[in-house]
Amino acid sequence: MERDVKIAAIQSSFKAMLAKGWFSICEVEQAAELMGVAFTSEQKAFLSLLHCVPFADMTPPVRAELQGILEEVFSRDAFVIVVGKTLLGRVKTKRLTIASS
């Protein structure tokens, strides 16, 4: 499977998770398996602790750390989605972010 397709699937999953308003370790672990990446034991413990916690109930530093871990492990590519093109044909993108939820 092509990397771009994997990243698109992860983006769809993360967008859905953000729309629900709470963190799901299940979706993140499946995405990690798809990309062949792994979390450190400390990262895994942090993510597991936040399972099912609404983003609104996390402090800004906790959301920022969560965002940082996900971007470090999955690459920043997974958090930038194409939303259209400008009149000049330039690609417009939007950044998926947990940190500012």
Is 18 part of any domain? yes
Mean pLDDT lowest among 3-7, 42-46, 63-67: 3-7
Is 44 part of any domain? yes
> 94 pLDDT band (50/70/90 cuts)?
confident
The verdict on pTM exceeding 0.75 is yes
pLDDT surpassing 90 at residue 33:
yes
Is 7 part of any domain? yes
Q: Which residues pair with 20 in a beta bridge?
A: none
In the chain, the number of structural domains is: 1
What the block records as the tokens of 86 is 């400008």
Supply the range of the domain harboring residue 51: 3-95
| Mean pLDDT (the chain, rounded) | 87
SS3 41: helix
> Which of 69, 82, 81 has the alpha carbon at shortest distance from 32?
69
Helices 60-74 + 41-49 axis angle, to 10? 130
Q: What percent of the chain has pLDDT over 70?
A: 96
Identify the residue whose tokens are 């034991």: 41
Cβ pair 56, 20 in contact under 8 A: no
Is 35 part of any domain? yes
How large is the average pLDDT for residues 35-64?
A: 95
